[in-house]
Amino acid sequence: MSENTPLRLGIAGLGTVGTGVVKIVRQQADLLSARAGRDVVITAVSARDQSRDRGVSLSGYAWETDAVALAKRDDVDVFVELIGGDTGVAKDAVEAALILGKDVVTANKALLAHHGQALAEQAENNDSVIRFEAAVAGGIPVIKSLLEGLAGNEITRVMGVMNGTCNYILTNMEKSGRGFNALFDECAELGYLEADPNLDVGGIDAGHKLSLLAAIAFGTQVDFDAVELEGIQRIELQDINHAADMGFRIKLLGVTQMTGRGLEQRMTPCLVPVDSPLGQLEGGTNMVVIEGNHVEQVVLRGPGAGMGPTASAVMGDVMDIARGIRIPTFGVPAAKLTKAAAAKAATPAPFYLRVGLKDKPGAMAKIATILGEAGISIDRMRQLGHMDDTAPVLIVTHKCMRQTLDQALEAITKIDVVATAPVALRIENL
């Protein structure tokens, strides 16, 4: 195709992000053309409700009620999928576009987390590319950084806060003194939660993102099923306050690294130092930290969601395609992506433990004995004031393996002095 030929977009999904993309293309047409060396235009769109006022003119665009039909149109070069979901019409439409050799730009983290390998193979078989900057960390160009800017590095670790809703809840628990339930309800009122809230607070949304970054960073097939997931629902205000007393903050932290046992991927609540970049992260902002053998550490911080930031990420991918930049979906040809052995919590770490004990003599000693028999040494141990005949006990362990700790915690839950199930949070070394 000639460089002077316009790049024609078909946009499926006209929610917040899709509307933002339309606004950028309409309002900045001259800037896009100058930077791409060719015009970037929208020829057709698709959404469920054609009558809704989206605050931007859709005149001049062909309208398809079926996203698959949009993907198949002859006047669409790049299919922009902003519908969401790992099955149904989003998947069908993306596959239809790839079969016809069209390029795909998507913000659909779930689709790629569950079907990334198959879609990458399909794209390469049809000389197409899939770009998905908007699927991870909103407006932060983390995928582009891994694929291009840091391509000369062997990546050793990627970690970050990748769900703004969880970060909003955790930081505001500390600031306002309100509990999880109150802030969860506030997020629902503000429209911060997914239709299925567990995607946010259960860590699933962020886990999808982590699995994609792991594939790029380590040249492996996407394996979302291997991500260790734990949400923030069990975090209480007392955990927030106790962490602060020790110089930490609690974050839903994603970490992936290649270890001697295999690929470690975990999205779990962790304690991080309050004076670290991750510890200072406030509200709905996202942050991704990338460590490489030559660059050492790169910190990327920015808005993790919203119309402008996410539409900006979509357009970054569109502009690369317009410029003729063509990179395999996960950085190397799909056939060369290895299937990594999954390693659950393969690196040892200290842990923060909270367990409610009944007011009985020798209760703390029983806990200490079980941990000691498991080979877990205690750094600090503190019993707090009684509440309703229950005494919360706080323990900070020395470094241990999570698997060993889990076995000890299972034994702890079975003794007669335990009133509430233990909460265990990793203390992350940054």
The pLDDT tens digits for 190-210 are: 778 887 889 999 999 999 999
Average pLDDT over residues 337-352: 90
Average pLDDT over residues 39-54: 92
Query: Residue 50: is its pLDDT beyond 90?
Result: no
Average pLDDT over residues 84-110: 97
Average pLDDT over residues 60-76: 96
Q: How confident is the model at residue 280 (pLDDT cuts 50, 70, 90)?
A: very high
Query: Residue 31: is its pLDDT beyond 90?
Result: yes
Contact (CB, 8 A) for 168 and 174: no
Query: Residue 136: is its pLDDT beyond 70?
Result: yes
Query: Which has the minimum average pLDDT: 118-122, 326-330, 385-389?
Result: 385-389
d(CA 4, CA 1): 8
Pairing mode, if any, of strands 262-273 and 418-427? Answer: parallel
Query: Residue 3: is its pLDDT beyond 70?
Result: no
Residue 314 vs residues 11, 31, 87, 143: alpha-carbon distances, Å: 11, 16, 21, 12
Own/partner contacts of 363-366, CB < 8 Å, gap of 24 or more, are: 363/391, 363/393, 363/417, 364/393, 366/415, 366/417
Residue 276 burial (10 A CB sphere; 0-12, 13-18, 19+): middle
Tens-place pLDDT, residues 163-181: 999 999 999 999 999 999 9
Distance of CA 156 to the CA centre of its chain: 18
Residue 17 burial (10 A CB sphere; 0-12, 13-18, 19+): buried
Query: Residue 99: is its pLDDT beyond 50?
Result: yes
Query: Residue 384: is its pLDDT beyond 80?
Result: no
* 136 closest CA partner among 334, 310, 315, 312: 310
Query: Which has the minimum average pLDDT: 67-71, 110-114, 153-157, 183-187?
Result: 183-187
The residues near 235 (Cβ < 8 Å, ≥ 6 apart) are 170, 173, 180, 250, 269, 423
Average pLDDT over residues 89-118: 98
The residues near 96 (Cβ < 8 Å, ≥ 6 apart) are 68, 71, 72
d(CA 414, CA 259): 33
Q: Which residues pair with 254 in a beta bridge?
A: 160, 267
Helical pair 29-36 and 307-322, crossing angle rounded to 10 deg: 40
SS3 category, 209: helix
φ, ψ dihedrals at 241, nearest 5°: -70, -40
Query: Residue 2: is its pLDDT beyond 70?
Result: no
d(CA 192, CA 308): 15
Is the pLDDT higher at 59 or at 212?
Answer: 212
The two tokens of residue 48 are 């469920």
Average pLDDT, the chain: 93
Q: What positions carry a catalytic annotation?
A: 209
Task: Specify the pLDDT at position 1.
Answer: 47
Task: Specify the pLDDT at position 390.
Answer: 79
Average pLDDT over residues 64-83: 97
d(CA 206, CA 273): 21
Query: Residue 118: is its pLDDT beyond 70?
Result: yes
Q: Which residues pair with 397 in a beta bridge?
A: 378
d(CA 17, CA 291): 30
* 305 closest CA partner among 190, 181, 149: 190
Tens-place pLDDT, residues 219-230: 999 999 999 999
d(CA 136, CA 162): 7
Q: How confident is the model at residue 312 (pLDDT cuts 50, 70, 90)?
A: very high
DSSP element (H, E) containing 63: strand 62-64
Contact (CB, 8 A) for 4 and 38: yes
Q: Give the position of tokens 């594939």.
A: 215
Q: Which residues pair with 297 in a beta bridge?
A: 291
% of the chain surpassing 90 pLDDT: 81
Choose from 215-219, 302-306, 416-420 the range with maximum mean pLDDT. 215-219
Task: Specify the pLDDT at position 419.
Answer: 85
Query: Which has the minimum average pLDDT: 220-224, 239-243, 363-367?
Result: 363-367
Query: Which has the minimum average pLDDT: 210-214, 228-232, 248-252, 344-348?
Result: 344-348
Q: Which residues pair with 130 in a beta bridge?
A: 104
% of the chain surpassing 70 pLDDT: 98
Residue 4 vs residues 136, 320, 323, 399: alpha-carbon distances, Å: 32, 15, 11, 60
The two tokens of residue 169 are 């809840």
Task: Specify the pLDDT at position 316.
Answer: 97
Task: Specify the pLDDT at position 80.
Answer: 98
